[in-house]
Structure 1
Amino acid sequence: AFIPDEDVIGFFAVENEKYGLGDLGVVYTLEGDGRAVLTYPDTYSRDVVSAELDLLVEDLLAYLAAPAEPEEAAVEPEIVVVEEVVLPEPPVMKNYGIYGYILHTEVGDGEVVLEYPAFIPDEDVIGFFAVENEKYGLGDLGVVYTLEGDGRAVLTYPETYSRDVVSAELDLLVEDLLAYLAAPAEPEEAAVEPEIVVVEEAVPAEPEEIVYPYGIDPIVKAEGDTDGFDLYIVHTNDVHGRIVAGEDGSMGYAKLDTLLKEARTAFPDILLLDAGDTLHGTNLANMFEGQTVIEIMDMLGYDAMVPGNHDFNYGYERLAEAAEWAEDNASFRILGANITDEDGYMLLQPYQIFDYNGFKVCVLGLSTPDTKTKSHPKNTEGIEFLHQAVIDNAQYAIDLAHEYADFVIVLGHMGVVPDGESGITSEYICENLDGIDLFIDGHSHTVMDGGEIVNGAMITSTGQYLNNVGIVEVHVDEDNNAEIENAFLLSAEEVLDPSTGSMLRYYGINEVPDDPEVDAYVAEKNEELDAILSEVVANIPMDLNGERADVRTRKTNLSKLICEAMTAESGADFTIMNGGGIRASLKAGPVTLGDINNVLPFTNTITVCRITPAGIYAALEHGYSLLPEQNGAFSQTDLSVVYSAKAPAGERIKRVYLGDELLDKTDDSTEYLVATNDFMAAGGDGYTMFGKVVTEGSMLNEVFIDYLTEVYPL
């Protein structure tokens, strides 16, 4: 549905001119919203039409144009080959070729050179052509296939085939090329059925203008002749739904919008980018599945973002909806060059070129391959992030980008610090790839004031939560040569109180007011949020104890229920969480979403780590160390723990049971999976004994809501 209706209309206008739809009895109706209907006479063979459902429309119409049941005797042998071709079934709307890249071809006399990304395994290419051979009978056509490796294969064909016909088909998929090779070089008109002549004459005209990869045209941001200009790239990352000023040190989107509007009056050439983990993290974001953030980003005039691992927290389908909404209704694109389905087809737009006075900036989106473990597995089911091939894949895309653009930005959610199985970071990518001019990074919440140069590329990142906004100044001369002249961060502290920094000193700004449009939108959504939070979701038969003095010294019925919810949702063996994370009790009777948010007000995500029995005892000793004093680090768990509060600290845990299994405190090799929250997994409250993170999943309060409604339904 993201393809403009006018493009679809234009496409079928070409088909009509080539095939004469009206003469064939075919009627085309555009219904919009991703749906069009072709009706055809019932006299056409339904079996033939059904077999061609997933073909490109021109191939479908070629079949419709043929007689329903042609008599063998009336068909030339060569034409029989064409009629019997059954082309593959590419996924609708995402036929980008093997692993997302169309094969390139060069044609000589009797030879076609096929070029493909070298990172594609040879066995995949061999398998691809094995299918082609079975479908087309290459040997019978005199075609020989030779795999040379390193991204190169050669097809030789009899020189009697017309080179002009072959050359005209350079950019077709290989199956269409072979269909043309199978046809006679110079067929005599009298010997060819009229319908088949239509197929032979269907040679696409050479485009007069530049055809960009995947048909993605540049977005023109500024037009005109110039002797040079300054481009300002403004960037954010890891906002985590901190929409309002003051949330965890955020400057807030309303004040950022005021700054941007002022900046655009003085510096019109601005590119506004976000490096992900943006749509999730607070009630105002979560309860609307990120739509509030998307719409605010539209108000601010964002040009592009890359999804971070937490942007998948609502599931891929919801992210795809957001990407479609952004393209249809907003000013920006959600990019993902390395996000594919299980067959290797891209699921998001890979890049976008922005044109400033003829100077073209390509922004390429790359998401961390560790998203599979940094979001709940159900959120990325059926999706791949090209784990092993991400570097070669990115190099191929960057090389391609330089054919069409003057400046290449990788908008990445990778992080500077490796924290996942892939080990791929922004620094690693820049060290191993050539041609990157600027890498705008997210994921590790790293503050990089002034940026870092790696292999000629600048890497920059703002930290988190709109605590900073980044600015990169690029000077472009009259010949479109670009040079990064400056990179710096503007802090939220300076925006919230301009007297603390350069805004007052250099520009005389002593206050940055909220933008009234953004403020009004946030107020409206907060009213809707209040109504949502007042919704009754469960009916509990007893009080659930979350009183401060209790959850910081002992297990309660509420803490037990929360731990059970975490274990059940995460698939871990058990849970250990800090009692200080539980902030209120629940009274018997109706329970609202707001009540649950009072119990678990922090935006913690459930994190699963590896831990040994020895580590379990160490964690519990740490949590029980201050008894009988209250301790926010007190270990709440669904394990059975036998302890003595009077024993010396470090010797209080006597026995620990996982179900009926007694755990051996000396066992430092057996591994279990423990569910905790992201705060503790990172060493919060002194819990340094958790091992390697296995998965990062859902929001804790959302999981508890679901569990409570299941256990105590209305």
Structure 2
Amino acid sequence: MELTRQETQFRKLHFSPPKNLNLIDIALVLVSRHANLYDVVTVFRYKLIGTIFNRGAFFMKTLHRIVLTLVLGLTVFCSFGWTQELTVLSLSEYHGHLLPDGDGVGGLAQVGTIVDMVRAETDGKVLLVNSGDILIGTVMSSAFRGVPDIEAMNLIGFDAMLLGNHEFDFGIDYMDLLENLANFPFLSTNLVGTYNLGVEAAVLKTVGGINVAIFGITNPNLYDITSPETKSLVVADSVEVVQNAVHAVSDWAHVVILLTHQSTRQDFALLNTLDGVDLIIGGHSPGWNGMYVPGMAFDPSLPDGVSETSTSALVKAPSFTKAISRVDLSVKQGEVVHQTALNIPVEGFEPHPTVASLTETYESRLSDRLNQEIGFADVNLNGERNDVRSIETNLGNLIADALRSGFPEADIGFANGGGIRNSIAKGNIALGNLLEVHPWGNSIVTFDLTGTQLLAALENGVSQIEDGAGRFLQVSGLNFVFDQRLEPGSRVVSVEVAGLPLVLGESYKIVTNNYIAGGGDGFEIFTKGTNFVDTQQLDTDVLGNYISEMGNVSPEVESRIVNLGN
């Protein structure tokens, strides 16, 4: 191992790892400010495991970061005779909720007040983390694409944020832009690839004498639920890569925290799968918002996977900054001996003045633009999550019809249910309403499919209807019948295009958004099409133009989609 010195405040370490070794002893050295000699602070025994840190760029990058983090953050943990305390605060499923929701509850300004209160109470022995998905879900997020959210998180002082899936919705380069804006690391242990993302595989910190290792699981289904660009990345086996990473720091870390962005079922399964993890902080899945700590009475209503023998705690805060999770850990002789957990509702707390000043600035910039009226809805337009992912809705029909109207050469318009994020109430329709429905700013694409490929696409659309998957298609220009009681891949019973039976050998022109056209939501079959044209027109513009031309809209459910098994 070769060490080279750079004249900075701290000595940076560069490694030429010996070949064919499975174990490397890394001497961490710190430049003394008062002498020319290097003082060896400690020795960190790092196990080089091929499944995580292969020799080459990824190994060098990750290892270098871990060592630098230890050098900058390491303190000698001498308090083995008494108990040390650590508090972990976390947000889950943030989704652009910089401001309070429609009910007036939530927002980062209130979160900031709670964080300051807990820091004062604990003498600053606090870690503050976010389990991912800061983008998409509000008009503010759609308009400013996460910039004010990152700025507010900087003001509050977050320690780490997991990459979920929506961080990639505007592409890899935009995720990297946000990462550069943040004063805290973006984290993912199971995400590797050829891009120089600046994303940490681990965050190692020492807080009040307690060494803490933070790892993260990015959604294992990343390719299917966000930008097709992510296919250039490699999502490693989550359990294997995290377990190896935990073992690698076991001689150093007193507390190991895992941030996750996957289903609640997968989170609870980890309680009896992973060894050496003290706290799991969940994200991604709506529904369960609670806590489990070792030793609590067994609750049979909890998801499968938890048992009285589980040694890890698991928490998940309510979505949209309605509450912040707090976990207090007691550490004695380098081991976690006790944990307590609760969710703190933000309602009733005064806004943090500095954060509130920032949010008010962005609110003012947004207001005039969003209030511009473009049409009138004679009926309520149904964009409810469960509906657009399982049945035909009038808003789904309106969106699909707008696509075909904007591109009349197309035979069929498709809108994936997962891309419809809100309803529109009866009354005036403003630009803000459209941004709530289509927050991503996807461009519209046309291409040709054969009848055989079209049938395969419809099968994919109904293949996960039981799970409420976003791949369910709202349609224009065709009608189809399916039976969800049949096996996935064989559920479509009949298809008509423009009132005529589907011809497998015929060519049909499709218009849809660039997300599913690029293979998102499992529509790999779309990438097999021909004559692709990216129109560079945004989905919000196409829908807005259609509504403006119509003036008043009153779409209906017309039996375009029939489910025999419902």
Structural mapping, 1:684-695, within 5 Å: 694=522
Once the 2 structures are TM-superposed, how far is the Cα of residue 584 of structure 1 from its aligned partner?
7.2
- Equivalent pair of 1:340/1:347 in contact (CA under 8 Å): no
Once the 2 structures are TM-superposed, how far is the Cα of residue 485 of structure 1 from its aligned partner?
2.6
> Which residue is 2:69 aligned to?
216
> Which residue is 2:291 aligned to?
450
- Equivalent pair of 1:313/1:375 in contact (CA under 8 Å): yes
Letter matched to residue 463 of structure 1: P
- Equivalent pair of 2:397/2:474 in contact (CA under 8 Å): no
Once the 2 structures are TM-superposed, how far is the Cα of residue 482 of structure 1 from its aligned partner?
2.3
- Equivalent pair of 2:403/2:511 in contact (CA under 8 Å): no
Which of 378, 383, 388 does residue 547 from structure 1 map onto?
A: 378
Q: What CA distance in whole angstroms lies between the structure 2 residues aligned with 1:642 and 1:370?
A: 28
Once the 2 structures are TM-superposed, how far is the Cα of residue 464 of structure 1 from its aligned partner?
1.2
* CA distance 1:272–1:97, shift in 2 (3 Å): farther
Once the 2 structures are TM-superposed, how far is the Cα of residue 358 of structure 1 from its aligned partner?
2.3
> Which residue is 2:329 aligned to?
474
- Equivalent pair of 1:254/1:514 in contact (CA under 8 Å): yes
Which of 93, 103, 112 does residue 238 from structure 1 map onto?
A: 93
> Which residue is 1:278 aligned to?
134
Q: What CA distance in whole angstroms lies between the structure 2 residues aligned with 1:553 and 1:377?
A: 27
1:383 paired to 2:233: yes
Q: What CA distance in whole angstroms lies between the structure 2 residues aligned with 1:258 and 1:222?
A: 29
- Equivalent pair of 1:361/1:409 in contact (CA under 8 Å): yes
1:462 paired to 2:312: no
Q: What CA distance in whole angstroms lies between the structure 1 residues aligned with 2:247 and 2:375?
A: 60
> Which residue is 1:658 aligned to?
497
Once the 2 structures are TM-superposed, how far is the Cα of residue 547 of structure 1 from its aligned partner?
3.3
Letter matched to residue 350 of structure 2: P
1:290 paired to 2:118: no
Structural mapping, 1:569-584, within 5 Å: 574-575=414-415, 581-583=423-425
- Equivalent pair of 2:179/2:198 in contact (CA under 8 Å): no
* CA distance 1:556–1:520, shift in 2 (3 Å): closer
Structural mapping, 1:15-26, within 5 Å: none
* CA distance 1:248–1:307, shift in 2 (3 Å): farther
> Which residue is 2:358 aligned to?
521
* CA distance 1:426–1:403, shift in 2 (3 Å): same
Which of 331, 343, 367 does residue 218 from structure 2 map onto?
A: 367
SS in 2 for 1:246: coil
- Equivalent pair of 2:293/2:341 in contact (CA under 8 Å): no
SS in 1 for 2:70: coil
> Which residue is 1:323 aligned to?
179
Structural mapping, 1:663-674, within 5 Å: none
Q: What CA distance in whole angstroms lies between the structure 1 residues aligned with 2:175 and 2:378?
A: 38
- Equivalent pair of 2:70/2:205 in contact (CA under 8 Å): no
Structural mapping, 1:352-431, within 5 Å: 352-378=203-229, 380-386=230-236, 389-417=237-265, 425-431=266-272
Q: CA RMSD in A?
A: 5.4
Q: What CA distance in whole angstroms lies between the structure 2 residues aligned with 1:358 and 1:530?
A: 47
Q: Deviations over 1:78-119 (max 9, x none)?
A: xxxxxxxxxxxxxxxxx9999xx996469xxxxxxx985354
Q: Deviations over 1:123-165 (max 9, x none)?
A: x99xx9xxxxxxxxxxxxxxxxxxxxxxxxxxxxxxxxxxxxx
Q: What CA distance in whole angstroms lies between the structure 2 residues aligned with 1:273 and 1:364?
A: 11
Letter matched to residue 191 of structure 2: I
TM-score, normalised by the number of residues in structure 2: 0.62
> Which residue is 1:251 aligned to?
106
Letter matched to residue 638 of structure 1: S
* CA distance 1:710–1:663, shift in 2 (3 Å): same
Q: What CA distance in whole angstroms lies between the structure 1 residues aligned with 2:293 and 2:405?
A: 43
What is the identity percentage for the equivalent residue pairs of Structure 1 and Structure 2? 19
Q: What CA distance in whole angstroms lies between the structure 2 residues aligned with 1:234 and 1:490?
A: 10
Once the 2 structures are TM-superposed, how far is the Cα of residue 238 of structure 1 from its aligned partner?
0.3
Q: Deviations over 1:225-281 (max 9, x none)?
A: 764332111111101111222346742211121122222222121111110112332
Structural mapping, 1:309-348, within 5 Å: 309-326=165-182, 330=183, 332-342=184-194, 348=199
Q: What CA distance in whole angstroms lies between the structure 1 residues aligned with 2:76 and 2:413?
A: 60
Unaligned runs of 5+ in 1: 1-6, 16-55, 59-94, 107-113, 129-170, 174-209, 418-424, 497-510, 537-542, 587-593, 619-634, 644-653, 668-672, 677-691, 697-701
- Equivalent pair of 1:576/1:638 in contact (CA under 8 Å): no
SS in 1 for 2:90: strand
Letter matched to residue 188 of structure 2: G
- Equivalent pair of 1:559/1:582 in contact (CA under 8 Å): no
Q: What CA distance in whole angstroms lies between the structure 2 residues aligned with 1:117 and 1:312?
A: 28
The structure richer in strand per residue is: 2
Letter matched to residue 291 of structure 2: G
- Equivalent pair of 1:583/1:601 in contact (CA under 8 Å): no
Q: Deviations over 1:145-194 (max 9, x none)?
A: xxxxxxxxxxxxxxxxxxxxxxxxxx999xxxxxxxxxxxxxxxxxxxxx
SS in 2 for 1:431: coil
Once the 2 structures are TM-superposed, how far is the Cα of residue 445 of structure 1 from its aligned partner?
2.5
Unaligned runs of 5+ in 2: 26-45, 295-305, 383-391, 443-453, 466-472, 482-492, 505-509, 514-519, 525-536, 548-566
Q: What CA distance in whole angstroms lies between the structure 2 residues aligned with 1:398 and 1:428?
A: 17
- Equivalent pair of 2:403/2:413 in contact (CA under 8 Å): no
Letter matched to residue 415 of structure 1: S
More contact order relative to length (CA 8 Å, sep ≥ 6): 2
* CA distance 1:211–1:357, shift in 2 (3 Å): farther
TM-score, normalised by the number of residues in structure 1: 0.50
* CA distance 1:549–1:273, shift in 2 (3 Å): closer
* CA distance 1:211–1:235, shift in 2 (3 Å): same
> Which residue is 2:33 aligned to?
none
